[in-house]
């Protein structure tokens, strides 16, 4: 989980850096959002798994994080839309 968190953080920082430089592309932003939101969902699922049934109790913040993680993959474009933006950016230069 720590490795995925670090990878997502670095992708977001790179996208922000490119944005500040004025060189960010739709692909940069889509990749950062996709990685961050998918990582959040994976980490939330793993945390629930580690805590078992207790992870879904309202006594722990995991239940809320798990629910919010699902919504994050929908807001500002679903993960499928982000994948479409990435693939389009990769295929367009090839004439596809």
Helix (H) or strand (E) holding 75: none
Interatomic CA distance for residues 2 and 34, integer angstroms: 17
Place of tokens 């239940």: 63
Query: Do the beta carbons of residue 51 and residue 86 sit within 8 Å?
Result: no
| Catalytic member of 4, 9, 76, 80 | 76
Residue 58 a catalytic site member: no
Interatomic CA distance for residues 28 and 60, integer angstroms: 35
Residues classed as catalytic: 76
């Amino acid at each position: 989980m720590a490795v995925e968190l670090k990878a997502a953080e670095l992708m977001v920082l790179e996208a922000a850096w490119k944005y500040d430089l004025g060189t960010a592309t739709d692909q940069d932003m889509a990749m950062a959002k996709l990685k961050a939101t998918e990582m959040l969902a994976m980490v939330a699922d793993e945390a629930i798994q580690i805590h078992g049934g207790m992870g879904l109790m309202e006594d722990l913040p995991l239940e809320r994080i798990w629910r919010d993680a699902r919504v994050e993959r929908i807001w500002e474009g679903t993960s499928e839309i982000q994948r479409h933006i990435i693939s389009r950016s990769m295929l367009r230069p090839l004439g596809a």
